Structures are given as structure tokens and as C-alpha cells.
Amino acid sequence: MYKRIKVTFESCGTTCAGYLYLPAAPAGRLPCVVLCHGFSGTMDRLFPHAERFAAEGMAALVFDYRGFGESAGEPRQLVDVEGQQEDLRSAIAFARHHDQVDSGAVVLWGNSLGGAHVISVAAGDVDVVAVVAQIPFNGFPKRVEERSTWQTLRLLGAIGWDALRGKAGLRPYYIPMVGRPGELAVAATVEAEQHIQALTSGEAASLWRNSVAPRALLGMMRYHPDEAAARLTMPLLVCVAADDRETPVETTRKLAERAPRGELRSYPGSHFTFYTDPATRERALTDQVGFFRRCLQLLED
């Protein structure tokens, strides 16, 4: 059992919203997992993960980045890599100052783009105890299956047009995050189309929006967290999907290889399997809980 508290914190003048999960009967100050969602995602996709960590006796903090979900910030649906990293730093500071959290026992968990953020931020914060990066972003794949040259050119055109609108101070030119094969979207594959059913069902429908400002992809083209991974002082667990096409194993495994204390674990399925298959999610969470427990135990030894 667990209890959930609605929280807010400030990040460079923007109010971020989140939820702090706590065990039903906490004993003293708790270790805390700060969880980060992926590109265009919202915190509700991570509620099951936070519940699991709370059931294991840890506090768990989930939050929306600026411009997404329940958090403030304009323009909406614009992924800002540096801004999201700052939001994560503010979330960590909030957790460390909470009266039910052990400030010296904060660990980070990130999924997809959030996996890149937790590595990048932890590289500059030696007090983070451990990091889990699940299907983490580490640069775009050289080729996206099911996307033709024409579709790629259309997407590049949308990125360029939206970037020009941004420089002019105009409202973003939004495109879908997920679309059918052949449509103009960030992810337009059969698998991505199937995944949208999970994103738009139940509670998630109130937060997630199938809309994103494509100018964000320009900044991500220069984003390679493996450079930060090499500077990590704490243990890193990288969890990958064997058939991932969005964050392929050949790029994600570099994060574990470059980290001085990196570990790599592979699971069957694709990038979206971690969202849609409860068995895979449970297996990965069991491994991640065990990893965090081992790292936190080192603090006591």
C-alpha cells in the first residue's frame, strides 16, 4: 500500500507539478526515486512504477516537465532539453528537502529521453546514489525503418519551419508525436500506431497529447549523453529492448560501456514493450528495485 501527495516546485520561475508516493506506514526518512518520462510524455505513464517503488519501501517522485501535463510553462508541448534537465535538478532539490526523504539517498530513474536526462544530470551531481536508464536516448538512429526518403524530407521541413517560427516568436507549428505509416509525425510506424492506443486510454487521456513542436528535434540531434556517462561516479543500470528501433541497442549499450560502473540488461521486445507489456515491465522493475537496493545498501555498509 502507498499514499500519494500532490506537490509543486519551482524550476527557474516555472511551476512544475508532480506527485510524491510514500509507503503507507513509512519508518523514518526514506530513500527516494525521482522518475523522468520520455519525449512528449507525461507523468501518468509512470504512476505504476512509482507505486511499485513505494510498495518496496521507497519514496517516489514523478513530475511533468515545463510545458507538459499539469506543469506550467509556455509554449506547450515543446521539448526543451536544457529546460527539462533544469526541471530534473529542481525535482531532485525538492526531494532532498522533503521532511520524509533521506537527502543522502536519492536515486534517479529515466525512460527514453528521460533516460538521457538522468545520466546527464547525475554526471554533475556526485550526491546521486544510483541511476537507472530504461531504453535511453543516445542520439538518433542513422535510419528509421518504415520511413521513406520523402517522409524524412517532410519531417525535416516541419522541423525547419517550426524553428523559424520559434525565432520569430510565433506559436509553434505542431505535428503529431505518433502517426500511421506515411503520415507526418515524429514516430510513424505500425508499432508506434499500436502504441498510441495505450497512451490514449484511461487516465492517460487527460494528460498526454498527440502533439509536439518539432523544433525540439534540432536540439536532440546534438544530444549524446554517452559523453556524460563517462563522468558518472555512481552505478548506472541501462535496461534495453532487444528489438528497439527508436533507441537501438547499438547506441544505448554505449552508455553502459562508457560509464565506469555501468551495467547492461536486455529484455525481449521493442521500445514500446516496456509500456504495453505488464510482464516485461514487472521483470524490469524487479531488476531495477534490486539494483537500487544494492546501491543503497552500500551507503549503510
pLDDT at position 245? 85
* Residue 294 phi, psi (nearest 5): -65, -40
Q: Looking at residue 297, what is its pLDDT? A: 93
Q: Which domain holds residue 104?
A: 2-143+222-300
- 58 occurs within a structural domain: yes
Q: Which pLDDT value is given to residue 204?
A: 44
| 235 within some domain | yes
3-state secondary structure of 227: helix
- 78 falls within a domain: yes
Q: Does residue 196 form part of some domain?
A: no
How far are the Cα atoms of 117, 123, 127, 240 from residue 260, in angstroms, in the given order?
Answer: 18, 12, 16, 18
Distance CA 251, CA 274 (A): 18
3-class secondary-structure state, position 95:
helix
Prediction pTM value: 0.94
Between the two ends of the chain, the Cα-to-Cα distance in Å is: 28
Q: Is residue 101 part of a domain?
A: yes
Q: What is the CATH number of the domain that holds 135?
A: 3.40.50.1820
| Separation between Cα atoms, residue 31 and residue 26, nearest integer Å | 11
Answer yes or no: are the C-beta atoms of 84 and 117 closer than 8 Å.
yes
d(CA 43, CA 63): 5
pLDDT value at residue 203: 46
Pairing of strands 59-63, 14-23: antiparallel
Task: Write b or e for each residue in 146-163: b if 16 or more Cβ atoms lie within 10 A of its Cβ, otherwise e.
Answer: ebeeebeebbeebbeebb
C-alpha cell belonging to residue 35 = 522518475
Quote the CA–CA distance of 77 and 166 in Å, as a whole number.
13
Distance between CA atoms of 159 and 153, rounded to whole angstroms?
10
Q: Is 246 exposed, middle or buried (0-12, 13-18, 19+ CB in 10 A)?
A: buried
153 in a domain, yes or no? Answer: no
| Phi/psi of residue 204, nearest 5 degrees | -65, -25
What are the pLDDT digits (tens) for 192-236? Answer: 666 665 555 544 456 889 999 999 999 899 999 999 999 999 999
Report the number of distinct structural domains present in the chain: 1
> What Cα–Cα distance (Å) separates residue 233 from each residue in 103, 122, 126, 225, 266?
18, 9, 7, 15, 23
Summarize pLDDT for 112-151 with one digit per residue, the tens: 999 999 999 999 999 999 999 999 999 987 666 666 788 8
Tell me whether residue 169 is in a domain.
no
The Cα-based distances of 221 to 35, 40, 125, 137, 141 in angstroms read 24, 16, 24, 11, 10
Q: Say if 67 falls within a structural domain.
A: yes
**Predicted local confidence at residue 180, as pLDDT:** 83
> Quick one: pLDDT at residue 274?
87
Name the stretches of the chain with pLDDT < 70. 142-147, 190-206, 301
The per-type count for the chain, helices as H runs and strands as E runs, is 10, 8
At residue 149, the pLDDT reads 82
Predicted pLDDT at 172: 97
Q: How far apart are CA 34 and CA 110, in angstroms?
A: 8
